[in-house]
Amino acid sequence: MPGTQLQVRPAAVAGRFYPGDAVELAAEVDAMLKTAAVAPGPRPKALIVPHAGYIYSGPIAASGYRQLLGDGPRPRRVVLLGPAHTVALRGIALPAVDALETPLGTVRVDAELAKIAATLPQVVASREAHAREHALEVQLPFLQRVLGDDFTLLPLVVGHVGAAAVAAVLDALWGDDDTLIVISTDLSHYLGYNDARAIDGETARQILALDDSFESDQACGAFALRGFLQAARQRGLVPKLLDLRNSGDTAGDRRRVVGYASFAFTQEPA
């Protein structure tokens, strides 16, 4: 209705996980995108990207988002799934707001997709689940710089839920080439450098095989990731590993590292 005030989820981790100043943030994201490699092939239908502070995982995330640049139309809708770090959650949570804010501006929640998701029994509305969740928020500046102002978003926090239930939500929201699916997850946590490389390498091999039988300690976004891989198998998506590193390779020491990877998934012609 005219004059109705938007309900906005304010940025919770600006100034900590990424710069809080808009000019600095735009420059940092653009620099990471510029140095990321472009993989050959069609524009992805889906991405898996990490969600730590930009100093640690930003370059790896940029490897995924870089694939959205180039000639041709870009996605106008984004379905973004990530884990619940701050609340105990069963099921999948809508944000119960109209928009999400970063220093770069606001991103509108896709009302049509939210309405579809809300009809599913595994989906609830929860401002609390979204209020302090960084796994989704850190993706927004990348999306804003790559897609500009003309896109809408459906952010979903994924709690304890079965893979089939997540896949069913994705199936309902899948859309066409205009809709991008983004899964936000880090890999192993707080292992030594060599152990992390071995375990993350195995996780990457499982993802490339669309194998969702991995353990939860292999990926903090395991619940969303398992469901997505099930949907990817059903839809015939083809995965490609873009980047696989850890915090020991970027900005941390190598005694206790966190693993990060980016993957692109394309829909190959029938």
| pLDDT tens digits, one per residue of 130-168 | 999 999 999 999 999 999 998 999 999 999 999 999 999
Q: Which of 175, 166, 184, 158 is nearest to 75 (CA)?
A: 175
Average pLDDT over residues 11-25: 98
Per-position b or e across 65-100, b if 16+ CB within 10 A of its CB? bbbbeeeeebbbbbbbbbbbebeebebbbbbbbbbb
What element of type H or E holds 151?
Answer: none
Q: What is the pLDDT of residue 114?
A: 98
Q: What is the pLDDT of residue 72?
A: 82
Task: Give CA–CA dist 72/55, Å, rounded.
Answer: 31
Q: What is the pLDDT of residue 2?
A: 57
pLDDT at 1 over 90: no
CA dihedral sign of residues 201, 220, 32, 43: positive
In the chain, the percentage of residues whose pLDDT exceeds 90 is: 93
Classify residue 45 as exposed, middle or buried by CB count within 10 Å of its CB (0-12, 13-18, 19+): buried
| Residue 185 vs residue 1, higher pLDDT | 185
Q: Which of 164, 161, 171, 136 is nearest to 9 (CA)?
A: 136
Average pLDDT over residues 39-48: 95
Identify residue 262 by its one-letter amino acid code: S
- C-beta atoms surrounding 264 within 10 Å: 26
Q: What is the pLDDT of residue 110?
A: 98
Residue 256: pLDDT band with limits 50, 70, 90: very high
Tokens encoding 53: 């502070």
Q: Which residues contact 152 (CB under 8 A, 6 or more apart)?
A: 76, 77, 78, 107, 108, 109, 110, 113
Residue 270: pLDDT band with limits 50, 70, 90: low
Residue 5: pLDDT band with limits 50, 70, 90: confident
Q: Which of 28, 61, 59 is nearest to 264 (CA)?
A: 61
What distances in angstroms separate CA 199 from CA 173, 219, 257, one per listed residue? 32, 10, 12
Per-position b or e across 17-38, b if 16+ CB within 10 A of its CB? bbbeeeeebbebbeebbeebee
Bridge partners of 90, per DSSP, are 160
Task: Give CA–CA dist 230/168, Å, rounded.
Answer: 10
**How would you classify the pairing of strands 123-125 and 257-267?**
unpaired
pLDDT at 269 over 80: no
pTM: 0.97
